[in-house]
Amino acid sequence: MMIDLILLICLVLAAFWAVVAARMLKAVVGLALTSVIVSILMFRMNSPLAAVFELSVCAGLIPVIFITTISFTKRLSWEAYLERKKEIFSRFWYLPVILVITVVLLSRYKIAADFILPQAPAVTDVRHVLWNLRQSDLFGQIIILLIGAFGVVTLFKVKQPKDKPK
Amino acid sequence: MNETAMQAFWFFGIFISLLFIIGVYCILATFNLLRALIGVEVLIKGATLLIILAGYLTGNTALAQAFVITLIVIEVVVMVVAGGVILWVFRHNGAIDARKLTDLKG
């Protein structure tokens, strides 16, 4: 469908912007935009729960983590910014060429852009899958979340000087 | 899968493969650790979209959503821990450039 085509083109453009933007904050905005478009596509493909997760976590929480990390690093001077821009151009100019070649090669298959997506069968309850079929995964997820919390405490901690003046 | 489903798979597949290429190229071409992390994130986006597409076309949307929720949880933890490691590297080296990681022990 046409709207899917537009969304997919925007998705690739946002991802491209995320990897070539010279300022890291702009790159993070591009990444958040990518997540938003992926979540819209998920909504369109009858996966609302995953879409809400994607929208809230990948477009909300992960950019916050990135921005926090960026805010702890030092700001680029104007000269360093220009230098980085030049470096990115010299390293990434192959990428659009590779993307175009890939599209041309894959388009050799007979693909029509104006198809209608097939209707999926009635959606089974995702809660049933999560709670009844994948309990061991949930246990693993809880352990991974605890690891994440431990990582935040350990790695983002600011070191206090040992000899405090009395 | 029927003919229409195959067409839809190839149509989305082209764009998903572009996402994979962007992510892999970013990881390979950059020395900036944060930008490499963004490349990993783009790769994960492609994988997420592929799982959801496969679930939709085969009628297993519930299972695909369960997989994607697991993927997103792990993705967040990876990003948090990697962000912390990058911050740690910055505090020790004064830069997040992989070329400056030359004083590792061992």
ipTM score assigned to the predicted complex: 0.91
If asked whether residues A136 and A81 sit together in one domain, one would say: no
Mean pLDDT across chain B = 87
If asked whether residues A103 and A148 sit together in one domain, one would say: no
> In this complex, do B65 and A129 lie within 8 Å of one another by their Cβ atoms?
yes
If asked whether residues A10 and A42 sit together in one domain, one would say: yes
If asked whether residues A80 and A136 sit together in one domain, one would say: no
Fold of B3-100: Helix Hairpins (1.10.287)
Q: Which domain holds residue A65?
A: 2-114
Rounded distance, CA A12 to CA A5, Å?
Answer: 11
If asked whether residues A92 and A52 sit together in one domain, one would say: yes
Question: Is there a domain that residue A44 lies in?
Answer: yes
The pLDDT of residue A119 is: 61
Flag whether pLDDT at B40 surpasses 90.
Answer: yes
> In this complex, do A141 and B73 lie within 8 Å of one another by their Cβ atoms?
yes
The pLDDT of residue B41 is: 94
Burial of B2 (0-12, 13-18, 19+ CB in 10 A): exposed
Among A12, A55, A98, which would you mutate to test the B interface (most chain B Cβ atoms within 10 Å of its Cβ)?
A12
pLDDT, tens only, A124-158: 677 777 777 777 777 888 888 888 888 778 777 77
- Residue numbers of chain A with a pLDDT score lower than 50: none
If asked whether residues A17 and A95 sit together in one domain, one would say: yes
Question: Is there a domain that residue A166 lies in?
Answer: no
If asked whether residues A31 and A75 sit together in one domain, one would say: yes
A11 touches chain B (CB under 8 A): yes
Asked if A115 and B11 count as a contact pair (C-beta separation under 8 A), the reply is yes
- Lowest model confidence (mean pLDDT) among A122-126, B11-15, B75-79: A122-126
What residue segments make up the domains of chain B, in order of their start? 3-100
Q: What share of chain B is helix, strand, coil (3-state, %, to 5)?
A: 85, 0, 15
If asked whether residues A142 and A97 sit together in one domain, one would say: no
Question: Is there a domain that residue A161 lies in?
Answer: no
- What is the token pair recorded at B64? 């695909």
- What is the token pair recorded at A165? 């003046």
A13 touches chain B (CB under 8 A): no
- B77: nearest Cα among A47, A61, A15: A61
- What is the token pair recorded at B43? 């790769």
Per CB-CB distance under 8 Å, the chain A contacts of B37 are 66
Rounded distance, CA A13 to CA A8, Å?
Answer: 9
Question: Is there a domain that residue A147 lies in?
Answer: yes
Question: Is there a domain that residue A96 lies in?
Answer: yes
Among A81, A87, A111, which would you mutate to test the B interface (most chain B Cβ atoms within 10 Å of its Cβ)?
A111
Rounded distance, CA B48 to CA A10, Å?
Answer: 17
If asked whether residues A61 and A109 sit together in one domain, one would say: yes
The domain tally of chain A equals 2
Neighbours of B83 (CB within 10 A): 25
Q: What share of chain A is helix, strand, coil (3-state, %, to 5)?
A: 75, 0, 25
If asked whether residues A96 and A31 sit together in one domain, one would say: yes
Question: Is there a domain that residue A37 lies in?
Answer: yes
If asked whether residues A105 and A129 sit together in one domain, one would say: no
> In this complex, do A151 and B81 lie within 8 Å of one another by their Cβ atoms?
yes
**Closest approach of A83 to chain B, Cα-based (Å):** 13
If asked whether residues A90 and A56 sit together in one domain, one would say: yes
Asked if B4 and A116 count as a contact pair (C-beta separation under 8 A), the reply is yes
Question: Is there a domain that residue A33 lies in?
Answer: yes
Flag whether pLDDT at B14 surpasses 80.
Answer: yes
Question: Is there a domain that residue A86 lies in?
Answer: yes
